[in-house]
Amino acid sequence: MKGKLLETVEYISKRISMWPEIGLILGSGLGFMADKIENSIEIFYRDIPNFPRSTVPGHEGNLVFGKLAEKNVVALKGRFHLYEGWSAEVIKFVIYVLKKLGVRKLIITNAAGGINKSLKPGDIVLVKDIINFQFRNPLRGINDGEFGPRFPDMSSILDKDWAKRLQEYFDLPEGVYMAVLGPSYETPAEIKAFRKLGADLVGMSTVPEIIAARHCRIDCLVLSCVTNMAAGVLNVPLSHKEVVEVANRVKGKFSEIVLKALEVF
């Protein structure tokens, strides 16, 4: 992987004029944040050697470099999911690319289903912990000690100080995010089981990125936009169209939170 990683980083570095310190991974319907980046330079995923492609509606496929809240950032406008056929190791590769480009902190966003009945569509939740029900780990295989230890500690996966500073401005609900493989939505029986296991939110992403970031010492802040209540909570069918519509509805609130997170990092 090291040779491919160097080739990818070299290609990108020749096309940018600044080195990012913060990365943003933008979930379904949340790619609009990349449009706010000033003095932006965009690089399409398809043009980057060894880089995966985003295939999901609501996920455009490009890296956006520039300034946001006076910070040097890179946004992934479109993420990669295991249900698309990518391996967890491919997602690790993307995180390692960010690390090599200079990223020290990472804001990960996602669209999630609400399991906790106190939540409602449109809520922005600060993720405090994760449950990996994808049963895949991006660190499987030979460990590269350059990036991190063979057995990274996961007892504190998120940057608590960063989260505390953000909470001084927003009284965000906090919750546990459970990742499932997808792409089918969960059944009502599964959601009942997940609730008993302690999950407040459910989605199909984010966890591989957190594990890889934790391994290579990138501090994370994770924000989930509740775009629907999970199966069985309300007597309504689930659809990806609803996910994108709700994400669009909370653009203003979401933008305010992300910009403040950048400001206080």
Q: Phi and psi of 42, rounded to 5°?
A: -110, 140
- Choose the weakest-confidence range: 10-19, 137-146, 223-232, 237-246: 237-246
Selected residue with higher pLDDT from 144 and 239: 144
Residue 31's pLDDT band, with cuts at 50, 70 and 90, is: confident
Question: The pTM is what?
Answer: 0.92
Q: Which of 221, 209, 15 is nearest to 94 (CA)?
A: 209
SS (H, E, C) the chain: CHHHHHHHHHHHHCCCCCCCCEEEEECCCCHHHHHHCEEEEEEEHHHCCCCCCCCCCCCCCEEEEEEECCEEEEEEECCCCHHHCCCHHHHHHHHHHHHHCCCCEEEEEEEEEECCCCCCCCCEEEEEEEEECCCCCCCCCCCCCCCCCCCCCCCCCCCHHHHHHHHCCCCCCEEEEEECCCCCCCCHHHHHHHHHCCCCEEECCCHHHHHHHHHCCCEEEEEEEEEEECECCECCCCCHHHHHHHHHHCHHHHHHHHHHHHHCC
| Single-letter residue type at 152 | P
Question: Is 79 part of any known ligand binding site?
Answer: yes
In this structure, are residues 262 and 107 in contact, taking their beta carbons and an 8 Å threshold? yes
Assess whether pLDDT exceeds 90 at residue 230: no
Q: Which two tokens stand for residue 94?
A: 């993307």
Over residues 159-183, the pLDDT tens digits come to 999 999 999 999 999 999 999 999 9
Residue 47's pLDDT band, with cuts at 50, 70 and 90, is: very high
Residue 240's pLDDT band, with cuts at 50, 70 and 90, is: low
pLDDT of 27 reads: 77
Assess whether pLDDT exceeds 70 at residue 235: no
Question: Is 28 part of any known ligand binding site?
Answer: yes
Question: Is 228 part of any known ligand binding site?
Answer: yes
Question: Is 42 part of any known ligand binding site?
Answer: no
Question: How far is residue 60's CA from residue 157's CA, in Å, rounded to a whole number?
Answer: 28
Question: How far is residue 27's CA from residue 113's CA, in Å, rounded to a whole number?
Answer: 13
What is the pairing mode between strands 174-179 and 201-203? parallel
Percent of the chain clearing pLDDT 70 (strictly above):
92
In this structure, are residues 178 and 104 in contact, taking their beta carbons and an 8 Å threshold? no
Over residues 62-76, the pLDDT tens digits come to 999 999 999 999 999
Question: How far is residue 172's CA from residue 95's CA, in Å, rounded to a whole number?
Answer: 26
The residues spanned by each domain of the chain are: 2-263
Helix axes of 251-263 and 160-167: crossing angle, nearest 10 degrees = 120
Question: Is 135 part of any known ligand binding site?
Answer: no
Cα dihedral across residues 62, 76, 78, 209: positive or negative: positive
Beta bridge partners, 223, equal: 109, 126
Active-site residues: which are they?
28, 59, 81, 83-84, 111, 204-205, 228, 240
CATH code that applies to domain 2-263: 3.40.50.1580
pLDDT of 147 reads: 94
Selected residue with higher pLDDT from 32 and 41: 41
Over residues 181-199, the pLDDT tens digits come to 999 999 999 999 999 999 9
Assess whether pLDDT exceeds 90 at residue 30: no
Q: Which two tokens stand for residue 229?
A: 């209540």
pLDDT of 236 reads: 62
